[in-house]
């Protein structure tokens, strides 16, 4: 087998510090990550100042650990890859400055990439415990559902991404987190809601399904959050605790109904053979079950990568980085981080 190229990648766009060494075929040689959940849970949300301080603290030890795990040396790397957009500016800056410095020190090219593009390619990653026989075939539909983003996208090929619909306000993960906070379940709360919902009846409490029957593919979750807030405002902590599992089941069902009905509509309008669901919310056990049944019925190949590749991680950043480096692309030392999604990385074909 010919020697495959590899990159070292860094992800620090939000509150996960992550470093990976990835091969051009998607094989993850090493992945070293630290979640900052415990630092932010006290505040019920991500505190940007704490996030970037933590990145500065964790990044170099993770880098060392990752290089040791992958047993590769700097000379054997094709280049470096780093998330430069979108995200928290201070957080992005820690990763970007580190990569620029490494690029100068080791005379390596680097690529500053869009974090959302990286999420789209997560199912192409592989390791000893995740190596599906098939890969998504182009073009494919991708539903990205995380704490910061919720959108439907047609991935035509590397570099051509058509946004079919996206959230007009909150992301689905944000709605899960806010609801968990109302019930005193901690932060981030998606996993907690998922866990409690397992023992509940989703018909006990009914929550609105925003934009469910609209003809476009946009989402909106802020009304759902407000409606839950109003509904619970007269409840005391004891009452909330008593009904926790049914409340979680009802709220979760409302979000999943919207996600699945928009995905279904997208597939009807854009028939494809492969569908990808990724981002932190794709870890939701009920969503995984629903989506699997749906895909069987629709006869499409469904790809939902394991949690380590769904949530923010450097391996997905490395995969896109290496594909672009192999095409001869590279970033220059004067590139800056950006908080915005950079609409020019994506083509919007959203219907109003």
Binding positions for Zn ion, rule: CB under 5 A: 146, 312
Burial class (CB in 10 A: 0-12, 13-18, 19+), 299: exposed
Cβ-Cβ contacts under 8 Å for 103 (sequence gap 6 or more): 79, 80, 109, 110, 333
190 binds, among ligand KG4, Zn ion, none (CB under 5 to 8 A by kind): ligand KG4
Backbone angles phi, psi at 80, to 5 degrees: -130, 155
Q: How far is the CB of 334 from ligand KG4 (least distance, A)?
A: 27
Among Zn ion, ligand KG4, none, the one that 191 touches (CB under a kind-dependent 5 to 8 A) is ligand KG4
Angle between helices 244-269 and 285-298 (to 10 degrees): 30
CB of 168 to Zn ion, least distance (A): 19
Contact 268, 112 (CB under 8 A): no
Which residues of the chain form contacts with ligand KG4 (CB under 6 A)? Answer: 14, 146-148, 173, 176-177, 188-191, 194, 279-281, 283-284, 311-312
Burial of 72 (0-12, 13-18, 19+ CB in 10 A): middle
Q: Which does 177 bind (CB under 5 to 8 A by kind): Zn ion, ligand KG4, none?
A: ligand KG4
**Whose Cβ is closer to ligand KG4: residue 247's or residue 325's?**
247
Q: How far is the CB of 104 from ligand KG4 (least distance, A)?
A: 29
Rounded least distance, CB 55 to Zn ion, Å: 15
Residue with smaller CB distance to ligand KG4, 140 or 187: 187
Q: CA 4 to CA 24: how far, in whole Å?
A: 6
Q: How far is the CB of 3 from ligand KG4 (least distance, A)?
A: 33
Name which of ligand KG4, Zn ion, none residue 210 binds, using a CB cut-off of 5 to 8 Å depending on partner kind: none
- Among ligand KG4, Zn ion, none, the one that 188 touches (CB under a kind-dependent 5 to 8 A) is ligand KG4
Residue 29 interacts with, from ligand KG4, Zn ion, none (CB under 5-8 Å by kind): none
How far is 209 from 202, CA to CA, in rounded Å? Answer: 13
DSSP symbol at 4: P
The answer to whether residues 228 and 251 touch, using CB atoms and an 8 Å cutoff, is yes
For the sheet containing 28-35, what is the strand order? Answer: 28-35, 16-23, 6-11, 79-85, 110-114
Q: How far apart are CA 86 and CA 308, in angstroms?
A: 20
Looking at the Cβ atoms of 16 and 29, the one nearer to Zn ion is 16
CB of 275 to ligand KG4, least distance (A): 18
């Amino acid at each position: 087998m010919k020697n495959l190229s590899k990159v070292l990648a860094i992800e620090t766009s939000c509150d996960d510090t992550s470093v990976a060494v990835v091969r051009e075929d998607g094989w993850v040689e090493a992945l070293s990550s630290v979640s900052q959940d415990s630092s932010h849970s006290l505040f019920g949300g991500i505190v940007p100042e704490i996030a970037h301080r933590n990145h500065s603290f964790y990044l170099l030890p993770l880098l060392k650990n990752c290089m040791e795990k992958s047993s590769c040396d700097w000379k054997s790397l094709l280049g470096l890859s780093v998330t430069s957009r979108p995200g928290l500016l201070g957080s992005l800056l820690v990763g970007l400055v580190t990569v620029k410095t490494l690029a100068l020190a080791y005379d390596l090219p680097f690529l500053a990439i869009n974090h959302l593009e990286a999420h789209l390619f997560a199912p192409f990653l592989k390791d000893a415990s995740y190596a599906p026989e098939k890969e998504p075939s182009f073009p494919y539909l991708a539903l990205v559902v995380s704490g910061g983003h919720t959108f439907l996208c047609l991935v035509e090929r590397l570099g051509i991404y058509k946004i079919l619909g996206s959230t007009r306000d909150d992301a689905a993960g944000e709605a899960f987190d806010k609801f968990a906070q109302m019930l005193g379940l901690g932060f981030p709360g998606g996993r907690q809601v998922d866990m409690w919902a397992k023992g509940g009846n989703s018909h006990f409490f009914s929550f609105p399904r925003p934009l469910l029957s609209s003809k476009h593919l946009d989402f909106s979750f802020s009304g759902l959050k407000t409606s839950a807030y109003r509904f619970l405002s007269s409840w005391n902590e004891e009452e909330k605790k008593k009904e926790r599992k049914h409340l979680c089941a009802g709220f979760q069902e409302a979000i999943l109904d919207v996600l699945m009905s928009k995905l279904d509509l997208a597939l009807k309008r854009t028939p494809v053979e492969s569908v990808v669901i990724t981002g932190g919310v794709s870890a939701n056990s009920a969503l995984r079950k629903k989506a699997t049944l749906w895909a069987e019925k629709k006869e499409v190949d469904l790809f939902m990568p394991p949690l380590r590749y769904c949530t923010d991680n450097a391996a997905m950043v490395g995969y896109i980085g290496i594909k672009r480096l192999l095409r001869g692309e590279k970033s220059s030392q004067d590139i800056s981080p950006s908080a915005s999604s950079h609409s020019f990385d994506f083509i919007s074909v959203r219907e109003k």
